[in-house]
Amino acid sequence: MQINFTNKTVLITGATRGIGKAVADCFFESGATLILTGTQKEEIELLNKRNKSNGVNNIEYVQADFSNQESVDSFLNQLKLYEQIEICVNNAGVNRVNNFTDTSTDDFDWIHNINLKVPYQILSVVGPKMLQQGYGRIVNVASIWSWITRPGRSMYTSSKNALVGLTKTLAVEWASRNVLVNAVSPGFTLTELTKTTNTKEQLIELQNKIPVGRLAEPIEIAKLVAFLCSDLNTYITGQNIIIDGGFTNV
């Protein structure tokens, strides 16, 4: 049973690190043609240059700053030019932990723009292409905070719940056109970000709260995303699938 993305063009946002990068690696290994976004201009240039010198011609990194509407608009215009996009993984996201009484409208806008509005805008461009092709697979990367919550996470939880709501509605609207839309909600994942923003002691404390006793590796999340986007999935749609080592069960 093979997962193969040959002849599939795949858009993955926030793909230079963390879960997004693991998803990109996973698709690349399975033969996909990739459009990958990242925020840092120098990094994107470097990645494109490196791929060119290595003879890798099926990956295109595109710089886009999703906190900047002009940058988003320019990215969307670029996206319109692609003839076909079969798979879209909305992975880019931000978080700022703040108690509700300390949040500002700016916090609300920043988080909801990046976590919700940009996926909406991307799907506004990519969705019609998929409907026209009669084929599409969309995975929106939400979070366990779309399912449960903690103090300080009102903005993030709101944005991720909304993303799941968007997921379900698009799934129902597009099911008969063979465009499947799902959300994947990872638990705590051992990304570069997690490693740098937590002390060793904090990481151990976190591990102890997870039933399987460890954080997820980004590749473990990526494999589920890959399955849902593959031709092995032809009937799962409108789901928010939690992959968290049992965390939300406790």
Partner 1 sequence: MNISFINKVAIVTGGESGIGKGIAEKLLSLGCLVYTTGVNDKPEWCGQYDKCIYTKVDFLNQDSLDSFINEISQLSKIDILINNAGIQIMHAIDNIETSDWDKVMDVNLKGPMKIMRAVVPVMKSHKEGRILNISSVAGLISKPGQSSYSTTKSGLIGLTRSSALDLATFNILVNALCPGTTQTEMVEKVLNVDQKNAILQNVPMGRFAKVDEIANFAVFLCSEYNSYMTGQTIVVDGGFTAR
Calculate the dihedral angle through the C-alpha atoms of 102, 145, 65, 169, rounding to the nearest 10 degrees. -120
Binding partner 1 by CB under 8 A: which of 39, 58, 103, 248?
A: 248
Of the residues 82, 120, 135, 156, only one is catalytic, namely 156
The least CB distance from residue 75 to partner 1, in Å, is 29
Q: Give whole-number Cα distances, 39 to 61, 75, 81, 235, 250, in Å.
A: 10, 11, 20, 34, 36
The DSSP 8-state label assigned to residue 233 in this structure reads -
> In this structure, are residues 10 and 32 in contact, taking their beta carbons and an 8 Å threshold?
yes
Q: Give whole-number Cα distances, 171 to 67, 192, 236, in Å.
A: 27, 32, 9
Which one, 81 or 250, has the nearer CB to partner 1?
250
User: What tokens appear for 7 in the block?
Assistant: 């002849």
The least CB distance from residue 2 to partner 1, in Å, is 5
Residues within window 20-59 making contact with partner 1, judged by CB under 8 A: 26, 29-30
Q: Which stretch binds partner 1 (CB under 8 A): 37-45, 60-68, 196-204, 232-240?
A: 232-240
The burial of 51, by beta-carbon neighbours within 10 Å (0-12 exposed, 13-18 middle, 19 or more buried), is given as middle
Pairing of strands 179-186, 59-63: unpaired
Residue 32: count other Cβ atoms within 10 Å of its Cβ.
24
Give DSSP secondary structure letters for 174-218. Answer: HGGGTEEEEEEEE-SB--HHHHHHS-HHHHHHHHHTSTTSSPBPH
Which one, 18 or 238, has the nearer CB to partner 1?
238
The site for partner 1, by CB under 8 A, has a size of: 41
In the stretch 186-225, what mask flags binding to partner 1 with x, by CB under 8 A?
Answer: -x-----------------------xxx--xx--xx-xx-
The least CB distance from residue 214 to partner 1, in Å, is 9
Q: Confirm whether 156 is a catalytic residue.
A: yes
Residues within window 164-183 making contact with partner 1, judged by CB under 8 A: 168, 171-173, 175-176
Which one, 99 or 234, has the nearer CB to partner 1?
234
Which one, 26 or 125, has the nearer CB to partner 1?
26
The least CB distance from residue 83 to partner 1, in Å, is 26
Catalytic center residues: 156
Positions touching partner 1 (CB under 8 A) are 1-3, 26, 29-30, 168, 171-173, 175-176, 187, 211-213, 216-217, 220-221, 223-224, 226-227, 232-239, 241-246, 248-250
